A = this chain, B = another copy of it.
Amino acid sequence: MTQTEKDYNTLFSLSKKIRLYDSISYLLEWDQETYMPKKGKEIRAEQLALMASLSHQERTSKNYEQTLKKLIDLDSGEILDKNLPTHLQASIREWRRDFLKATSLPNVFVQEFARLASESTAAWAEARKQNRFSDFAPYLEKIIEQSRIKAEYLGYKDHPYDALIDCFEPNVTTAEIETLFSNLKKKITTLLHAILSSKQVDDRFLHGKFHAGKQLAFGRELLEAMGYDMEKGRLDLSNHPFSMTLHPSDSRVTTRIHRSSLFDSISAVLHEGGHSLYEMGLMPEYYGSPLCEAVSLGIHESQSRLWETRIGQSKPFWKYFLPLLKKYFKQLEKVNLSQFYKAINKVAPTFIRVESDEVTYSLHVILRFELEKKLIEGTLQVDEIPEAWNELMGTYLGIIPPTDREGCLQDIHWSMGAFGYFPTYTLGNLYAAHFFDAFEKKYPDWEEAVAKGNITFLTEWLKDKIHRHGRLYNAHELVKRVSGKKTSETLYLKYLTEKYGEIYHLGA
């Protein structure tokens, strides 16, 4: 073993310890959202804080820094031993990235920000309940002020918002998102207007009474069909659906069951299942290094949205699954495939982002991005948010929330200090369009297979093309590698236009 290999292994061990700390935090969080007794909350907060501090301590330690420095020049990012295999070089490059990120924020700042975010989240929840934006405003002001300081600590070239995006979507800039989003906005609003002028879709049969246990059982069938290994995961209930990964061999999903609405949980299961399949597809032998980590939130979202929309809202998928679904829910007996397909793809503007359809979803995200950018720049003041929000809702979606609860108070993100997060939702859809385009080229007959219930060849393909690489490539590199094209909005718009053109009989 060379000295470099020894140093690499030392860093790998340190990094694996951090990963173990984090995986323990994830279990604490999973339990909190699923089975924890109500009054266990207080001690849970202390357990989580302890694990977070251990993880932070380790990832910013002198020991860690010195080991890293033996492998890479921290300033220039130059790998010291060029004989190392490419994937190990990539790993070191990403370790440096994480280290610089972790150490650029002073400990005191991190703790203060965490405390503020925790208080703000509580204040937001109460303000939303009371439907009083003004109660949340002073917290939000502080959060924005601190986010600006955070951006300065992190550093950026052109725009402070760049630094914030980079925490969730490495190497993507504000300018780039602006270009993508302005094209999307134009084309999607045009498409939306055309849809709204057409004959509307009937989806009443998706609402009624649907036994919770049966919904769960059907959800498990879906997961198994996706190739989700039930010995490496499980499906439980929680207030908000999520996917939680301790290791590629333990990646769990949750869903929320509405007894009166059938498709919500189906969507959630496919979405969270997509996230978990990504984590299950990482290579366990690299566990503890960036080679066994997801690229970015956007790439993660591409996996969940691909399963949720490209498969779970497709006709061939339901050609196979609708008959199974009817076995669970006799009331759907007379619904045919075409009716079902249209209903699950119904487009109708709604105030609430998480309830929105595939066409309007991006508009919700773009609205938030535009406000966030201005808030960070200082060209929009906190007290101006409700008006600005409602105005954009009117412009993009043609509807205006009656109160802030259905408007600017609906999302938790700002209260948590997660500025820069929202764009990744839409980036995920764009990435998914690139990936699915490549998949369709490789498997032009995919619809026939899926209509027979064979879907795991997609899982395998995603694992081969995306999952197994971990952070070997960044998002844009990966998109280019898989699809042969630079990330753009074109493929996504093409998909939306064709699909909804057919459903709503729009002229070509």
Copies of this polypeptide in the complex? 2
Contact A231 B43 (CB under 8 A): no
A27/B37 in contact, CB under 8 A? no
Q: Which residue of B lies closest to A40 (CB)?
A: B250
Those of A421-441 within 8 Å (CB) of chain B:
none
Asked, given contacts A20-B47, A23-B47, A47-B23, whether A229 binds B39 with beta carbons under 8 Å apart, the answer is yes
Question: Is A324 in contact with chain B by the CB < 8 A criterion?
Answer: no
Is A232 close to B, CB under 8 A?
yes
Interface string of A264-298 (1 = CB under 8 A from B): 00000000000000000000000100000000000
Complex Cα gap A148–B260 (Å): 65
A 43-67 binary contact with B (CB < 8 Å = 1; else 0)? 1101100110010000000000000
| A100 in the interface (beta carbon within 8 A) | no
Contact pattern, A 211-235, Cβ under 8 Å of B = 1, otherwise 0: 0000000000000000001111110
Among candidates B51, B229, B231, B249, residue contacting A42 with C-beta atoms closer than 8 Å: B249
Taking the closest CB of chain B, its distance from the CB of A440, in whole angstroms, is: 32
In the complex, what residues of B have CB within 8 A of residue A44's CB? 250
- In the complex, A50 Cα to B17 Cα: how many Å? 8
Q: Separation in Å of the A347 CB from the closest CB of chain B?
A: 38
Complex CA–CA separation, A229 to B236 (angstroms): 23
Tell me if A234 and B35 are in contact (CB < 8 A). Answer: yes
State whether A249 touches B39 (Cβ < 8 A): yes
Name the residue on B nearest A50 (C-beta).
Answer: B20
Bound complex: CA A54 to CA B20 (Å): 13
Q: Which residues of B contact A20 (CB under 8 A)?
A: 43, 46-47, 50
Report B-chain residues with C-beta under 8 Å of the C-beta of A40.
232, 246-247, 249-250
Nearest CB in chain B to that of A54: its residue = B54
Contact A43 B23 (CB under 8 A): yes
Contact assessment for B23 and A231 in the assembled complex, using a CB-CB cutoff below 8 Å: no
Residues of B within 8 A of A24 (CB): 24, 28, 47, 50-51
C-alpha gap A333/B35 in the complex (Å): 35
Give chain B residues whose Cβ lies under 8 Å from the Cβ of A477: none
Cross-chain contact A250 with B28 (CB below 8 angstroms): no
Instruction: Look across to chain B and name the residue whose beta carbon is closest to the beta carbon of A34.
Output: B35
Closest-by-CB residue of B relative to A49 is B20
CB neighbours of A54 from chain B (8 A): 54
Task: Return the contact of A43 from the options B36, B247, B252 (Cβ within 8 A).
Answer: B247
Q: Enumerate 10 A-B pairs (CB-CB under 8 Å) in ascending A order.
A: A24-B28, A27-B47, A37-B230, A37-B233, A37-B249, A37-B252, A39-B229, A39-B249, A42-B249, A44-B250
Given contacts A24-B47, A35-B236, A40-B250, 6 further A-B contacts (CB under 8 A): A17-B50, A37-B250, A38-B232, A40-B247, A43-B246, A47-B246
